[in-house]
């Protein structure tokens, strides 16, 4: 992901009279470090071990910062630095292979993707063309957005971070070099510290922004920059020792001490990277302080092998690792689209054999890309003249942007597919009432209005998470038919339980406590006669918040929910607890569309009743144990079960869900007669 490799021959001393004339084209240990970075990323994405393999990107960042900064500083010291030349080298290194991968991904999307998914990929391609794909994926990481992991261009976020860094860094180094050269180290250190300082709290409070955006990732690149600045500064001093005869002239003892320190630092650095790869996982709060382990480890390995290869450096410089490092950029580009498209059509995880085969195919494509795309452009065998290079890059970039724009404007070009397939695919957009009520709105009593009129006191209050949002179309229709006013307090991933903190980053977390307290105050003040609690109960049972060791989380959850029910009853409300609708095994609109496309049985998408009971058994037992006078537990599942004992996912050629577990508007409206039967007899009319 970085550019040309900086090296120093073992035993060579750089004298000040050299004026840094030798930018040697290869440093084998850094190639090997690239391999150590890219292989865990590929294995992690393929589900082949390496639970923390994603930290390979952080290793790449440090390498990139080191190499780019060293090259710029050396060129500045020679008085030969040119922004045009620098960006020409960047274009040669990055653009050709990236353009081929983007074009192939869009072309494959024409044949493989449903309209909405093709639009999503096209928008990602446009964002990458504008060098802001990291911003794009940050903005699309909300709870109601399609999972980012289903986008074959997700991995371009890291390229965008580096590209943005490449735009800023040379300008910064030029300014400092011209006006205040001695301040360079302080400037780089200050920026690195500021970025790291933002990353520490950001990883907890703004995890998505911290993960994707340059301001909270720049410290990793700047860590490499600091390493490069130090190396160039030391090498430029007249008393620079280097290695060989100059080093031995100060005494064998000092030379042995320096050698031993570098050997130890190299081992520690590589061990730190390995620990992060093996010990981190998807639940690790990242980047933040956790990124110090892989980023610091990469910096340690690079520093330890600066003058002469250590044992660690010799291992990294072995031919297999150097080869993988050489193709690492292309391997990074190609592995993710292959994995995503394979999973897309398998409706989930591929088999072990398929995943191994996909990794092997990624290696083959990487070798071909490296040999026939990367190498010719990097060695100026193709488009040797800068003007022709920039013109060709601009033309290719423009063609990609135009193609992606047409896909977006054409809404995924649905004419490519049969009407039934398009209808199922569009069920993802069949939603309403997707609104996260804020704490401020709850305290002010501003909730979602249901029914024909907001006049009069509320007769029905719906309280819950995104599953409650999904059933609101049915409750709204019920209120209109009965001529009553309903209101709803909903927030995604936030349980309707007093004094309960949901661990999900998409929920209110600690703010759930004042939010739910405000809901109870509203029910009490307005004497709401009927409250309907709807939530994805099984998730809260299986994912409790952090508790001290030895704590019975299930018992605490039951106690808090029981206290919530008692508080509502004390406020004069009758309470109805609604169990979960069946959770399907795959994204329903996509699975139905694919089944219709190949002529498969549509009911094959549905899970069995036994599967549903197994999934929700613990949650249902908890809810049943809370039933009592004034608290009714109702189960919508019988409405979904067909004659074969399957929890149907479609009816009359329309999807009942908009994803795996949220009902579509059409699916929710199937509940209207059932809800009317459950709730209307218990509605307490006021005088």
How much is the pLDDT for 410? 94
Structural element, H or E, at residue 450: strand 448-450
The DSSP output letter for 641 is B
How much is the pLDDT for 631? 93
What is the rounded (10 degree) CA torsion for 176, 178, 182, 185?
Answer: 30
User: What are the tens digits of pLDDT across the range 152-203?
Assistant: 999 999 999 999 999 999 999 999 999 998 999 999 999 999 999 999 999 9
Q: E strands, 96-215, where?
A: none
CA end-to-end span of the chain: 72
Q: Buried (b) or exposed (e) across 595-605, using 16+ Cβ within 10 A?
A: bbeeeeebeeb
Tell which phi-psi region holds residue 383, choosing left (phi > 0), alpha (psi between -120 and 50) or beta.
left
| Tokens found for residue 637 | 């599942």
User: What are the tens digits of pLDDT across the range 101-141?
Assistant: 999 999 999 998 989 899 999 999 999 999 999 999 999 87
pLDDT over threshold 50, residue 9? no
User: What are the tens digits of pLDDT across the range 62-109?
Assistant: 999 999 999 999 888 888 888 888 888 889 889 999 999 999 999 999
H-type alpha helices, 495-544? 512-526, 537-542
CA–CA distance, 400 with 405 (Å, rounded to integer): 8
% of the chain residues with pLDDT over 90: 65
How much is the pLDDT for 25? 46
**CB count in 10 Å sphere of residue 645:** 10
Instruction: Tell me which residue has tokens 């009592």.
Output: 628
- Show the domains of the chain with their CATH numbers: 28-234+254-413 (no CATH), 439-545+552-580+610-636+664-682 (3.40.50.1110)
> Where is pLDDT greater, at 562 or 347?
562
pTM above 0.85, yes or no: no
Instruction: Tell me which residue has tokens 């249902």.
Output: 620
**Is residue 272 within 8 Å of 298, Cβ to Cβ?**
no
Task: Give me the mean pLDDT over the 216-234 stretch.
Answer: 91
CA–CA distance, 45 with 359 (Å, rounded to integer): 10
CA–CA distance, 259 with 310 (Å, rounded to integer): 8
How much is the pLDDT for 190? 96
List of residues 6+ apart from 438 with CB closer than 8 A? none
User: What are the tens digits of pLDDT across the range 142-165?
Assistant: 545 556 678 999 999 999 999 999
Provide the CA 675 distance to its chain's centre, in angstroms: 38
| Tokens found for residue 100 | 């081929």
């Amino acid at each position: 992901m970085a550019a040309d490799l900086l090296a120093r021959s073992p035993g060579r001393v750089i004298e000040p009279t050299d004026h840094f004339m030798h930018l040697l084209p290869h440093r084998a240990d850094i190639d090997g470090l690239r391999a150590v970075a890219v292989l865990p990323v590929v294995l992690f994405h393929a589900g082949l071990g390496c639970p923390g393999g994603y930290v390979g990107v952080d290793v790449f960042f440090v390498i990139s910062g080191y190499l780019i900064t060293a090259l710029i500083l050396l060129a500045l010291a020679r008085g030969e630095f040119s922004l045009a030349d620098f960006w020409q080298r960047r274009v040669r290194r990055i653009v050709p292979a990236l353009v081929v991968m983007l074009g192939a991904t869009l072309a494959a999307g024409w044949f493989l993707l449903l309209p909405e998914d093709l639009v999503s990929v096209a928008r990602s391609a446009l964002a990458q063309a504008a060098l802001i794909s990291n911003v794009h994926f940050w903005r699309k990481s909300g709870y109601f957005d399609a999972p980012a992991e289903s986008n074959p261009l997700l991995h371009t976020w890291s390229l965008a971070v580096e590209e943005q860094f490449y735009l800023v860094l040379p300008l910064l180094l030029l300014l400092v070099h011209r006006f205040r050269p001695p301040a360079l180290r302080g400037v780089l250190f200050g920026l690195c510290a500021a970025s790291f300082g933002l990353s520490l709290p950001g990883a907890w409070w703004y995890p998505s922004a911290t993960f994707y955006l340059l301001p909270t990732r720049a410290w990793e690149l700047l860590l490499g920059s600091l390493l490069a600045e130090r190396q160039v500064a030391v090498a430029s001093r007249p008393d620079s020792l280097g290695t060989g005869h100059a080093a031995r002239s100060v005494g064998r003892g000092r030379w042995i001490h320096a050698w031993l320190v570098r050997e130890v630092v190299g081992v520690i650095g590589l061990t730190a990277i390995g620990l992060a790869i093996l010990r981190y996982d998807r639940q690790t709060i990242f980047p933040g302080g956790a990124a110090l382990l892989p980023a610091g480890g990469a910096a340690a390995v690079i520093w330890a092998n600066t003058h002469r290869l250590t044992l660690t450096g010799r291992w990294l410089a072995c031919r297999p690792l150097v080869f993988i490092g050489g193709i690492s950029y292309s391997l990074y580009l190609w592995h993710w689209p292959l994995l995503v498209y394979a999973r897309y059509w398998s409706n989930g995880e591929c088999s072990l054999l398929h995943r191994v085969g996909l990794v092997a195919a990624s290696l083959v494509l990487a070798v071909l890309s490296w040999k026939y795309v990367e190498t010719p452009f990097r060695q100026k065998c193709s488009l040797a003249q800068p003007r022709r290079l920039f013109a060709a890059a601009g033309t290719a970039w423009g063609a990609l942007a135009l193609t992606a724009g047409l896909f977006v404007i054409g809404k995924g070009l649905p004419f490519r597919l049969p009407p039934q397939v398009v209808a199922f695919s569009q069920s993802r957009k069949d939603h309403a009432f997707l609104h996260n009520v804020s704490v401020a709105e709850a305290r002010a009593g501003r909730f979602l209005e249901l029914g024909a009129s907001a006049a009069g006191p509320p007769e029905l209050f719906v309280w819950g998470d995104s599953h409650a949002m999904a059933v609101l179309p049915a409750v709204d229709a019920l209120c209109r038919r009965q001529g009553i006013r309903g209101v709803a307090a909903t927030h995604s991933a936030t349980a309707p339980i007093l004094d309960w903190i949901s661990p999900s980053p998409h929920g209110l977390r600690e703010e759930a406590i004042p939010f739910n307290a405000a809901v109870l105050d509203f029910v009490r003040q307005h004497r709401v006669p009927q409250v309907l609690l709807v939530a994805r109960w099984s998730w809260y049972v299986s994912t409790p918040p952090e508790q001290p060791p030895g704590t019975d989380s299930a018992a605490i959850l039951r106690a808090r929910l029981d206290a919530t029910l008692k508080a509502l009853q004390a406020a004069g409300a009758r309470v109805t607890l609604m169990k979960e609708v069946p959770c399907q095994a795959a994204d329903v609109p996509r699975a139905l569309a694919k089944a219709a496309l190949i002529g498969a049985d549509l009911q094959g998408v549905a899970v069995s009743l036994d599967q549903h009971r197994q999934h929700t058994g613990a949650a249902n037992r908890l809810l049943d144990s809370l039933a009592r006078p004034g608290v009714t537990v109702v189960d919508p599942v019988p409405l979904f079960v067909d004659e074969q004992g399957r929890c149907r996912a479609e009816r009359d050629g329309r999807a009942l869900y908009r994803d795996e577990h949220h009902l579509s508007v059409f699916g929710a409206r199937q509940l209207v007669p059932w809800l009317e039967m459950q709730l209307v007899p218990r509605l307490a009319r006021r005088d």
